[in-house]
Structure 1
Amino acid sequence: MIARLIALVLLLCATPAAADELRPASISFEQVGEDDWQLGWKQPIASRDAALAYPVLPDGCTWAEPVRGRAAVAAMVAVAAVRCAGSPAGKRIGAPDLVVTGDALVRIAPLGRPVQAYRLTASEPFATIAAKPDAWQVWRSYFAIGVEHILMGWDHLLFVIALVLLVTRGWAVVGAATAFTVAHSLTLAAVTLGFAGLPQRPVEALIALSIVFLAVELARGGRETLTRRLPWLVAFSFGLLHGFGFAGALREIGLPEGEVPAALVSFNLGVEAGQLVVIAAVLAIRWLLSRSAPQVEPRAIRVAAYGIGITGSYWLVERVLSPWIVG
């Protein structure tokens, strides 16, 4: 019974899901004059029929002009002028209608003062604007977003799961995970700081292809391959590619001006924390399976390999054909 349960868990790890779920709403509240502010926000949408949701202004602030909205890729973007009677410090800004199915990142930029960043959730849809921002605000917000990205970004998650299932030796797992971490940290930093860049659509297709590649290697069983001999090399190579994917997600979220290094480092640390949780969970499941029903372990891993491969293949076809389907 335990063996069947663990095999089911491994299969569920490979169940098709939305590939990159991190499409948070974002709000920018920027002061442009003594009493004048500009409010802009991005609202992810699942269909073209979705209605535009409006953030809740701080007390004493009113709309100074009609909202100007436009459609973007899988989102609606809006901007409007806002006039506030006095400082909004100590007052709340929120987006309860924007965080029903996800999170929102709020960026507040008063004139001549540090930028503030807050993460809104369905349980906490409001944030209080600080007169003097907490130095750890950016670190906390972007760390949580990094953890959420790796745990909800199923394409990156399946790659890590497949890598851990493929590499059976303890130190080999550590080496492969470290190589993957170093590689995607390099490209994430390079893209975020403007030293490199690739179009996002081909990157996402290649990430799906990397998942298919590992699934094929995993389905071969114990055959000696380059991936099994040098897992760190394969992990590093694909890690460079996945770093472009992380950078694309971070670009969608946005970075607070003046706090780019802190946001970049804390986001990356969050990704690593989430990744370590996933690696520990997969190793624990595999250890439990090998101790309770070792004869079932190869079959369970093969089932997971096929599930991961089918999911990666679906994403690959979808991402390659999506421009023609949308068109």
Structure 2
Amino acid sequence: MTRAAEWSALARGLCAVMGCVRLILLAAAAQAVLFVTGTSAHEVRPAYLSVEEGAPNDFTVLFKTPMQGDARLALSALFSGKIEAMTPIVSRPTGDAMVQTWHMRTIEPLAGQNVLIEGLQNTMTDTLVHVVFANGNSWTARLTPSAPSAVIPASQSSWAVFVTYVQHGIEHIAFGFDHLLFVAGLMLIVRDWRKLVKAITAFTAAHSITLTCATLGWLTLPSRPVEAMISISIVMIAAEVVRMELGHLSLAIARPWIVAFAFGLLHGFGFAGALVELGLPHSDVPMALLAFNVGVELGQLAFIAVLLSAVYAVGRLIAIPRQSIVTSAYAIGIVATFWSIQRLDAAFPQF
């Protein structure tokens, strides 16, 4: 079998796997229509608790929690030691989250106390907790529904911060169905492994650039129009798959790495929106940024590896019809079109 035939068979196998994924995505889309939970394809949005010591035993607290419509996720931050509230809690909505801020004074040292996110055990989300002491020491931890509390140590290593943000990067891409669907569509277009490596590398380089620039505040775009454009980019990729199967030629087909780079810049703003929403530790911004990006790439590579492994396994069991490529492209386009309409409506409600 020639290389071209091998990659053609690989693409058909990918379509068979995408058939299962398609059912899941369509079910998710139907659920979104029924329950109208939001405009993002990401189902898990973490909460963020920041506690920063300005003067000895005097802390500024910021607690960001996801919102579902006009309702805030029922979470609250509790400390095991004696705490005195210095100001009332001030709440303000910011897009899809509620930000609460207040000042508190600790009667007992904060280091050694247990912090609990009450209500987290009843959710499907996580909470990132970041504590900064006046002496420069800091602590970052990821609390989960199964482990909603932790003891605050006096300090933490940079490696622990790195691991925490790598986990969040992996989690974000794992639930970022729109980003994964774009990668799957790109794999349907690129039938040569060298071109695939080049396209994925271009996509990675591009979204790393905009992720860094947007997170550091050098270049920002409104999140809702960005999310809408990401969905539209998936529709365009799906259309290119159909065009290629019909024998047409375009830039995406002839030079897929150029299109992957261009759309990667756009997707990077989407990644940055998630990271900004999550929050960055002030003392470890470069470390956290690098770690989150590493987590995203690990998750993306794992997704590609799983798809290719599944394709290989399916290809050894059954003969996959050629028309399944077009069928899968239409399925990807339908799901992405649904997301596009939903997100455009949220981004431009006045129209």
Q: TM-score, normalised by structure 1?
A: 0.90
Contact 1:37–1:83 (CA under 8 A) maintained in structure 2: yes
Moved more, 307-316 or 144-153: 307-316
CA distance in 1, matches of 2:43, 2:235: 19
CA distance in 2, matches of 1:19, 1:324: 18
Pick one of 100, 108, 123 that aligns with 2:146: 123
CA distance in 2, matches of 1:41, 1:67: 10
1:35-50 alignment runs, 5 A limit: 35-50=57-72
Aligned to 2:117: 95
CA distance in 1, matches of 2:92, 2:334: 36
Relative distance call for 1:23 and 1:4 in structure 2 (3 A) is closer
CA distances 1:105-142 after superposition (whole Å, capped 9, x unpaired): 11101112233211111111112211121221210111
Say which SS state the counterpart of residue 249 (structure 1) adopts.
helix
Q: Given the alignment of the two structures, is residue 269 of structure 1 paired with residue 280 of structure 2, yes or no?
A: no
CA distances 1:212-247 after superposition (whole Å, capped 9, x unpaired): 011111233533432222111111111111111111
CA distance in 2, matches of 1:167, 1:3: 12
Moved more, 58-67 or 102-111: 58-67
CA distance in 2, matches of 1:131, 1:185: 33
CA distance in 2, matches of 1:4, 1:310: 15
CA distance in 1, matches of 2:75, 2:152: 21
Q: How much does 1:159 deviate? A: 0.7
Aligned to 2:9: none
Aligned to 2:333: 309
Aligned to 1:163: 186
Counterpart AA for 1:142: Y
CA distances 1:37-85 after superposition (whole Å, capped 9, x unpaired): 2222011121324465311113233434432223332222212222212
Contact 1:37–1:82 (CA under 8 A) maintained in structure 2: yes
Q: Given the alignment of the two structures, is residue 320 of structure 1 paired with residue 320 of structure 2, yes or no?
A: no
Aligned to 1:232: 257
Moved more, 189-198 or 114-123: 189-198
Counterpart AA for 1:159: F
Contact 2:228–2:347 (CA under 8 A) maintained in structure 1: no
Contact 1:43–1:75 (CA under 8 A) maintained in structure 2: yes
User: What is the percentage of aligned positions where both structures have the same residue?
Assistant: 38
Unaligned runs of 5+ in 2: 1-12, 30-39
Q: How much does 1:21 deviate? A: 3.2
Aligned to 1:27: 49
Aligned to 1:82: 104
Counterpart AA for 1:314: F
Relative distance call for 1:49 and 1:186 in structure 2 (3 A) is closer
CA distances 1:141-192 after superposition (whole Å, capped 9, x unpaired): 1101100111111111111111122212222221111110011111111222
Pick one of 22, 29, 53 that aligns with 1:11: 22
Pick one of 245, 256, 281 that aligns with 2:270: 245
1:158-237 alignment runs, 5 A limit: 158-222=181-245, 223=247, 224-237=249-262
Q: How much does 1:288 deviate? A: 2.7
Q: TM-score, normalised by structure 2?
A: 0.85
Q: How much does 1:10 deviate? A: 4.1
Relative distance call for 1:243 and 1:4 in structure 2 (3 A) is closer
Relative distance call for 1:158 and 1:51 in structure 2 (3 A) is closer
Say which SS state the counterpart of residue 56 (structure 1) adopts.
strand
CA distance in 1, matches of 2:291, 2:255: 30
Give RMSD over aligned pairs.
2.4
Contact 1:55–1:98 (CA under 8 A) maintained in structure 2: no
Number of aligned residue pairs: give it: 325
Q: How much does 1:274 deviate? A: 0.2
Q: How much does 1:22 deviate? A: 4.6
Pick one of 278, 284, 296 that aligns with 2:303: 278
Contact 2:16–2:311 (CA under 8 A) maintained in structure 1: no
Say which SS state the counterpart of residue 212 (structure 1) adopts.
helix
Counterpart AA for 2:343: R
Contact 1:70–1:78 (CA under 8 A) maintained in structure 2: yes
Relative distance call for 1:301 and 1:288 in structure 2 (3 A) is farther
Contact 1:165–1:282 (CA under 8 A) maintained in structure 2: no
Relative distance call for 1:295 and 1:81 in structure 2 (3 A) is closer
Contact 2:137–2:154 (CA under 8 A) maintained in structure 1: no
Counterpart AA for 2:20: V
Contact 2:17–2:310 (CA under 8 A) maintained in structure 1: yes
Aligned to 1:135: 158
